[in-house]
């Protein structure tokens, strides 16, 4: 039986590949459950310093939720699915270390939502993004209305969600939704490079920075600043901070970070 999510690890970086290429990696309930369980397991592994998510094949990152599953649903079933999908997206956004989306093709509907839940997004030059839901009689249900408006602003969210128009990777980059656009062959090497750069920094500092950025977005500025101050202080409880600053002061090479 085909594994729905493939896992590859290089030292402290993990790559997850969503593996339903025959269905353009669409999110059905089984795949959502599998990915959710895997993320819960990985979140408890303190040796992981960065996570990459991509899609199998060269056509799609994730081409939406599975329409075949949704077509016959009634309202209660649809709301349960929305909660199920939203929980997965929160697991991604709240994952303790940075999550990089390597968007290698179509990121439509639920796939666009999954990408938006990640912290950093790289896209191949053939990637395409859209929220086609209003053309199917529904709205985005896994966080798309909320994350898109927060990341790109209300007007781009109204535009993309109300019209359902498909945009290229370069426009997504111009809207601030994608960090970089690469050739398809360069996408995963660049994602690994970025993840390994992050993994080379002090783990506690990276985790505290992610926490402050993510949580601070939903707080008034003064509360966000207080959150940042706490994270800054907690870094001074680590040996990594003491070793790095001592080496800096002594004009020595900063030693590899140990994560403690």
Beta bridge partners of 18: 5, 55
Whether 133 is catalytic is yes
Reference 96, options 214, 227, 176, 232; nearest CA is 214
Provide the token pair at 160.
Answer: 């993309």
Scored b (16 or more CB within 10 A) or e, 239-252 reads ebbebbeeeeeeee
* Catalytic annotation, pick one of 3, 8, 41, 113: 113
* Catalytic annotation, pick one of 11, 30, 37, 133: 133
Which whole-number Å values give the CA distances from 52 to 30, 96, 131, 153, in the listed order?
21, 13, 23, 26
Provide the token pair at 204.
Answer: 């506690």
Show which residues are catalytic: 113, 133
């Amino acid at each position: 039986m085909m594994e729905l999510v493939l896992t590859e690890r290089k030292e402290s970086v993990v790559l997850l590949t969503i593996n339903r290429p025959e269905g353009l990696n669409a999110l059905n309930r089984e795949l959502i459950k599998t990915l959710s369980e895997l993320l819960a397991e990985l979140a408890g592994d303190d040796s992981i310093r960065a996570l990459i998510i991509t899609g199998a094949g060269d056509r799609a990152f994730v081409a939406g939720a599975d329409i075949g599953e949704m077509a016959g649903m009634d309202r209660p079933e649809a709301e349960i699915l929305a909660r199920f999908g939203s929980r997965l997206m929160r697991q991604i956004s709240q994952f303790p270390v940075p999550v990089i989306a390597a968007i290698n093709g179509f990121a439509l509907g639920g796939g666009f939502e999954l990408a938006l839940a990640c912290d950093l997004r790289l896209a191949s030059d053939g990637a395409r993004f859209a929220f086609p839901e209003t053309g199917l009689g529904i709205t985005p249900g896994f966080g798309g209305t909320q994350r898109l408006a927060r990341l790109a602003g209300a007007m781009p969210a109204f535009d993309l969600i109300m019209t359902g128009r498909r945009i290229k990777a370069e426009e997504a980059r111009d809207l601030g939704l994608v960090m970089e656009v690469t050739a398809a062959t360069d996408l995963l090497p660049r994602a690994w490079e970025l993840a390994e750069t992050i993994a080379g920094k002090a783990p506690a500092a990276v985790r505290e920075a992610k926490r402050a950025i993510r949580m601070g977005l939903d707080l008034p500025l003064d509360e966000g600043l207080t959150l940042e101050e706490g994270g800054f202080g907690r870094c001074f409880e680590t040996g990594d901070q003491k070793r790095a600053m001592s080496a800096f002061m002594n004009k020595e090479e900063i030693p590899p970070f140990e994560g403690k």
